């Protein structure tokens, strides 16, 4: 990194910390209002679920996109909080579905408080997020938000259907990650723009930006699941393989595989995926077939497309300044090691 | 029943069937739109969950309340469908939480399609219901709806806290059933009125009506859990006792119990509640202490209060006609045997 890149990164980190803190303040204040006279266990579960050292990336996007379009006021942080509520609701339900004991290095909500509490707390956060979106971003915002949440469920179903399925196509892969991840990232951007009263061109640009970084985020996640080291990645490496997820490096390798290599991969995918030897063999095959490099190239292309979408924000000072931060965030997604 | 009462009941049943059918048409059409290009398993799960011979009581309330305030158009049935979506979402999650295999005499969504599908389908329906409410009933409607859904979660937590707890008060009991049941019934009424552009007095009256019949519904449910017979009640009698729920007949009996009787009840509640002998002994004690009759009297009072709230709808023909049906529905709740 040259000094200027380091500076940009430091600026982004400082902004992220500040927006994260303001979002957390908004969440605490909202919970206080919404949970008046509520059951103490519900209060405890929600606080446990929400205040866990999360990176608050979705709120960061909402705030930066609104600022980029010229609006920044205290209600913006409550709007941003709605995206964190939804995200945490999703995690609470995911951990029940995946029977995951750990989340961010401590017991998951399901492990700590039980399945019932995790499902119900997820439902509470889900309802509250839509309440806030409807109130702060109006019918248009609610439409965007709910479309993204229903699509997310569809993406989960579509993924289930293709577990360990060698016939999964790249088209299908991108359709699923769009539904599962990018749509909601894009909606955090789009609704931030909507809140600021952005015109269609601005809103579309930020939606594209969100869509592309969301997809890149997922591709990098796929890579980290193979490449990361325990302690760095925060969850056990090889998880996706164990679950039979058809990740991008794997799909790209399959595209280039000889029929013999394809047969080997099929055997590995349909065998006991919990064996470290199986993971290592698959890893080496993907490496040989350039699957990791190719996936990294695609992530790069997605980030380039995200940066390009921001080109229209180049006139006013607030546009330039906030678009720069969004660009830096996109580059960070590409460079992240965990 | 005198002939006139029979006539009123027949009229209500015919209305309920017609509104139920129109709501189902609205649901099918909405699903077709919302599920375009969606995963076939998601489509199957949602249809299985939604079209199960449900009584469609919540949609019936929304439609009758809107009609009572002078509006009836085709979008009303889509608004009504939102309440059925939410109801079915709740059932899908409840069956995961309670590990219930059966729902309406066939496998529950969780039993048929697995926990993952049940949680995700519930999330889909939850999101879609809020989407529809926001679109059709505006921010006021969404506020009412989301407040009711978050309160429902709080009610579940509060109920968990008081499992087999002899110190549960009637105040607590009614607070919980209000949160768990009546608030949402009241919101189905209130949002129907809102949709029709009702004035505050009308909306308040219908909210009160919904609140009281919702509470009465739950009290009757408590009675049926003790009194119903398998095959009539649709679920095994004594379920509430097995789960340690502090039902109203039990609370009323505890109020009158001698310290010896109280001790017996404590022993039964803290012992093996799955024993039919335990249920029988508790049943007899509650009978001796007039708990069932007293609970039935309270249900009556609640229904009287519901009927009284409707007194303001006595001028226009559409008021009289639809309020009559709402009254008949209230009386039906009291008389129901399953």
Q: Is B100 on the interface with A (CB under 8 A)?
A: no
- Amino acid B219: pLDDT: 96
pLDDT value at position A137? 96
Measure the CA–CA gap between A223 and A291, rounded to whole angstroms: 10
Q: What is the pLDDT of residue A3?
A: 56
Chain B residues 196-255 with a CB less than 8 Å from chain A: none
Q: Count H helices and E strands in chain B, helices first.
A: 15, 2
Q: Is A99 on the interface with B (CB under 8 A)?
A: no
Look at A68-72, A334-338, B53-57, B143-147 and tell me which has the smallest mean pLDDT. Answer: A334-338
- Is pLDDT at B297 greater than 70 in this prediction? yes
In the predicted model, what is the mean pLDDT of residues A217-231?
81
ipTM: 0.91
Is residue B117 scored above 90 in pLDDT? yes
pLDDT in tens, B150-168: 999 999 999 888 888 888 9
pLDDT of residue B336: 82
Domain ranges for chain A: 3-335
pLDDT number for residue B250: 95
3-class SS of residue B336: coil
Q: Which residues contact A202 (CB under 8 A, 6 or more apart)?
A: A68, A69, A193, A312, A313
Contacts with B142 from chain A: Cβ below 8 Å: 130-131, 134-135, 142
Q: Lowest-pLDDT range, A231-245, A313-327, B91-105, B253-267?
A: A231-245
The arithmetic mean of pLDDT across residues A97-114, rounded, is: 92
Q: Span B272-298, mean pLDDT?
A: 92
Min CA distance, B156 vs chain A (Å)?
8
How much is the average pLDDT of A159-179? 91
Q: Please tell me the pTM assigned to this model.
A: 0.93
| pLDDT confidence of residue B233 | 36
CA distances from A37 to A34, A43, A44, B108, B155 (A): 9, 10, 13, 33, 11
Confidence of residue A128 (pLDDT cuts 50, 70, 90): very high
Q: Is the pLDDT of residue A337 over 80?
A: no
What number is the average pLDDT over the span B21-33?
98
Q: What is the mean pLDDT of residues A300-323?
A: 96
Closest CA to A83 of A36, A136, A38: A136
On the question of pLDDT at A1 being above 80, the answer is no
pLDDT of residue A136: 97
Q: Which residue has the higher pLDDT, A229 or B175?
A: B175
Question: Top-level CATH class of B3-335?
Answer: mainly alpha
Q: Which of A134, A154, A160 sits opposite B139 (nearest CB)?
A: A134
Q: What does the pLDDT average to over B74-80?
A: 98
Question: Would the CB atoms of A96 and B117 count as touching at under 8 Å?
Answer: no
Q: How confident is the model at residue A239, as a pLDDT?
A: 85
Q: What is the mean pLDDT of residues B181-194?
A: 97
Q: What is the pLDDT of residues B123-132, one digit of tens each?
A: 999 999 999 9
Structure tokens of B236? 């095994």
A290 burial (CB, 10 Å; 0-12 / 13-18 / 19+) is: middle
Does B311 lie at the interface with A, CB-CB under 8 angstroms?
A: no
The answer to whether residue A184 neighbours chain B at the CB level (below 8 Å) is no
- Tell me the average pLDDT of chain B: 93
The pLDDT assigned to B2 comes to 56
Cβ neighbours for B54, distance < 8 A, ≥ 6 positions apart: B84, B87, B88, B104
Q: Which of B174, B178, B236 lies closest to B207, judged by CA?
A: B178
Select from B212, B240, B243, B216 the least CA-distant residue to B227.
Answer: B240
Reported confidence tier of residue A227, pLDDT bands at 50, 70, 90: confident
Q: Tell whether the model's pLDDT for residue B31 goes beyond 80.
A: yes
- The per-residue pLDDT for A236 is 61
**Contact (Cβ atoms closer than 8 angstroms) between residue B142 and residue B91:** no
Q: Is A75 on the interface with B (CB under 8 A)?
A: no
Q: How far is CA B175 from CA A143, A274, B31, B214, in A?
A: 33, 49, 35, 12
pLDDT score at B236:
61
Residue B113 confidence class, pLDDT cut points 50, 70, 90: very high
Give the residue-averaged pLDDT of B211-240. Answer: 79
In chain A, % of residues over pLDDT 90: 80
What is residue B237's predicted lDDT score, i.e. its pLDDT? 77
């Amino acid at each position: 990194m040259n000094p200027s890149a380091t500076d940009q990164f430091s600026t982004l980190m400082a902004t992220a910390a500040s927006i994260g803190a303001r979002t957390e303040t908004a969440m605490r204040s909202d919970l206080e209002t919404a949970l008046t006279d509520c059951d103490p266990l519900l209060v405890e579960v929600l606080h446990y679920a929400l205040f866990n050292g999360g990176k608050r990336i979705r709120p960061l996007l909402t705030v930066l996109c609104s600022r980029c379009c010229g609006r920044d006021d205290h209600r913006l942080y409550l709007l941003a909080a709605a995206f964190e509520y939804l995200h945490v609701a999703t995690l609470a339900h995911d951990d029940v579905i995946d029977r995951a004991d750990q989340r961010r290095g401590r017991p998951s909500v399901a492990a700590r408080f039980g399945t019932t509490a995790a499902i119900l707390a997820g439902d509470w956060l889900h309802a509250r997020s839509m309440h806030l979106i409807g109130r702060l971003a109006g019918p248009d915002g609610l439409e965007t938000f709910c479309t993204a949440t229903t699509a997310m469920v569809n993406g989960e179903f579509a993924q289930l259907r293709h577990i360990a399925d060698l016939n999964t196509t790249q088209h299908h892969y991108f359709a699923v990650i769009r539904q599962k991840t990018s749509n909601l990232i894009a909606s955090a951007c789009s609704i931030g723009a909507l809140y600021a009263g952005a015109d269609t061109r601005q809103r579309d640009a930020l939606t594209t930006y969100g869509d592309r970084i969301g997809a890149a985020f997922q591709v990098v996640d796929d890579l980290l699941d193979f490449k990361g080291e325990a302690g760095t990645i925060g969850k056990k490496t090889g998880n996706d393989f164990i679950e039979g997820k058809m990740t991008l490096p794997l799909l790209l390798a399959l595209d280039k595989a000889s029929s013999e290599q394809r047969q080997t991969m099929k055997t590995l995918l349909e065998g006991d995926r919990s064996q470290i030897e199986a993971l290592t063999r698959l890893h080496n095959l993907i490496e040989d077939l350039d699957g990791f490099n190719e996936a990294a190239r695609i992530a790069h292309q997605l980030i380039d497309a995200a940066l390009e979408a921001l080109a229209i924000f180049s006139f006013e000072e607030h546009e330039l300044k906030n678009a720069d931060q969004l660009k830096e965030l996109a580059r960070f997604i590409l460079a992240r090691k965990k």
